[in-house]
Structure 1
Amino acid sequence: MDRREIAALLAYIGRLDPRTIRTGEGEVRDQLDQWDELLGDVPMATPHGWDARTAARRHVLLSPYPVLPADIARPWESYRRDRLARHTDPAPHADPDDQRAWAAELAATRHAVATGTAQPAQAPAITSGRRRVDPELEARLREVGSCIPPKARAALAPYRSARAAREAALAEGRADARTVACEWCQAQVGEACRNRRGPDGMARASAPRTTAHPCRLDLAAARQAQETELPQPATA
C-alpha cells in the first residue's frame, strides 16, 4: 500500500473503532509513518480474495484491542502461505537450457501467486476411465500395430525372450498358447507357463518358461483349427 491507501485504511478503521483516531497533526503524521513502514509491502486488495479492510473489520469484531499494523500483516502472511502451499509450479515456457530465463519465469509465477495477482496452479487430478486418444495417434497405432518401433522391439528381443518367441509365433501364423490354460503347470489364460513340476509330478521350481508346454501348444493349435473350421454366418 502507498501512503494514500494507508490513509484511506486508517480512515476506514477509525469509523469502526474510534480509539484508533488521532487528532493532533503530529500524531496523525507519526501514525501514518508507522503504518507506512510496516504495511508498505501489503496490498490494499488483490483480485483473488485479499482485502485489508476485511482483515481490519474481522479484528474489530473478534478482538477487544485496537487495530495495530501487525493485525493486518499477520493475515496477509497467512494468505500468502496458503496460496503458495496450494501452488504446483507449472513448467515455464522458457527454454530449459536457458537457466536464467527459466528461473526468472518460475520466480515471477510464484510471486504472482503469492501477491494474489494469479491463481495457484494445481496439478490435475487422476481421473478414472479411459482417456480420449488423439485420432491421428490412434490411426498411426493401427497402421504400425504397436507403439514400440520395430527397431526398438528388435533391440529389446534379447532381454524379453518369452515375449519375442510369442510375437514370432504369432507373426508366423501359429496359435497363441496363452489363449488357453495349461493342463501341465496349471497356468491360467494369459499367463506364461512355469516349471512347476517334473515328469514324476513333484514340484521342481516356479520360474516362468520362455516357451509354452507342448500340451498347451497342441491345445491352442486345436482351438485355432476348430475356430477356423467354424462356418461363417451368412450375410443378408
Structure 2
Amino acid sequence: MDRREIAALLAYIGRLDPRTTRTDQGEARDQLAQWHELLGDVPLATPHGWDARVTARQHIRLSPYQILPADIARPWESYRRDRLQRHTDPTPSADPDDQAAWTAELVGTRHAVASGAAAPATHRQITSGRVHPDLQERLHAIASCIPPDVRAELAPYRPARAAREAAIAHGQPDALGVRCEWCGAEAGEPCRRRRIGPDGGARGSAPRATPHPGRLDRAAAQQPAMA
C-alpha cells in the first residue's frame, strides 16, 4: 500500500474504532508513517480474495484490543503461504534452453500468485475428481482401463492373474478370492509351490500359475455365499 492507501485504510478503521483516530496533526503524521513502513508491501486489495479492510473489520468485530499493523500483516502472510501451497508451477512458455528467461517466467508467475494478482495454477486431475469421458466409456465397455489386446500380451508375464480372469470370465469360482489352506497364500495372492526338505522345512515358495486343487474346492464351496 502507498501512503494514500494507508491513509484511506486508517480513515476506514477510525470510523469503526475511534480509538485509532489521531486528532493531533503530528501524531496523525507519525501514525501514517509507521503504518506505511510496516504495511508498505501489503496490498490494499487483490482480485483474488484479499482485502485489508475486511481483515481490519474482522479484527475490530472480534477482538477487544485496538488494531495494530501486525493484525493485518499476519493474515496477509497466511494468505500468501496458502496460495503458494496450492500453486503448481505451470510449464513456462519460454525456450527451455534459455535458462534466464525460463527462470524469470517461473519467478514472475510465483510472485503474481503470492501477491494475489493471479490465481494459483493447480493440476486438473487432482482438483476435479472427474473421470475423462473417453476413459469412462472404455471402463463401461471392457470393465478395465487396460485394452484387451494389451491384456493378452501381458498374460504370459502374469499367468496367475490371467488364469484368474479367464476362470471368472467363464463363470468358474474365483480361487484367488479365498485363502489357500495348503500353501497359506492369502486371498488375492497366487498359490506357491512348497518344496519340503528332509527336515520338514520349506525349501522354496515359487508362485504357481494355477491354484492348488484344495483352494479351487474351497472357492467352489463358498461361491454361493460370495455371489
Matched, 1:116 2:113: no
Give the deviation of 1:97 after TM superposition.
2.2
In structure 2, the residue matched to 1:16 is 16
In structure 1, the residue matched to 2:74 is 74
In structure 2, the residue matched to 1:65 is 65
Aligned residue type for 2:16: L
Flag the 1:73–1:128 CA change in 2: closer, same or farther, 3 A: closer
Deviations 1:150-199 (A, max 9, x none): xxxxxxxxxx9x969xxxxxxxxxxxx9978xxxxxxxxxxxxx9999xx
Matches within 5 A, 1:181-200: none
Deviations 1:190-234 (A, max 9, x none): xxxx9999xxxxxx977689xxxxxxxxxxxxxxxxxxxxxxxxx
Matches within 5 A, 1:87-166: 87-123=87-123, 124-125=126-127, 127=129, 132=134
Deviations 1:62-104 (A, max 9, x none): 1112111111111111111111111122222222222211111
Deviations 1:109-160 (A, max 9, x none): 1111111111111223485656527xxxxxxxxxxx98xxxxxxxxxxxxx9
In structure 2, the residue matched to 1:223 is none
Flag the 1:130–1:60 CA change in 2: closer, same or farther, 3 A: closer
Partners in 1 of 2:133 and 2:194 — Cα distance?
39
* Secondary structure in 2 matching 1:104: helix
Flag the 1:129–1:70 CA change in 2: closer, same or farther, 3 A: closer
Aligned residue type for 1:28: A
Provide structure 1 residue ranges, at least 5 long, that are not aligned to the other structure.
134-144, 147-159, 165-176, 181-193, 198-203, 210-236
Residue correspondences, number: 179
Q: What TM-score results when the alignment is normalised by the length of structure 2? A: 0.59
Partners in 2 of 1:65 and 1:91 — Cα distance?
46
Partners in 1 of 2:11 and 2:4 — Cα distance?
11
Matches within 5 A, 1:44-63: 44-63=44-63
CA RMSD of aligned residues (A): 4.4
Partners in 1 of 2:81 and 2:193 — Cα distance?
59
Q: What TM-score results when the alignment is normalised by the length of structure 1? A: 0.57
Partners in 2 of 1:6 and 1:89 — Cα distance?
33
Aligned-residue identity in percent: 71
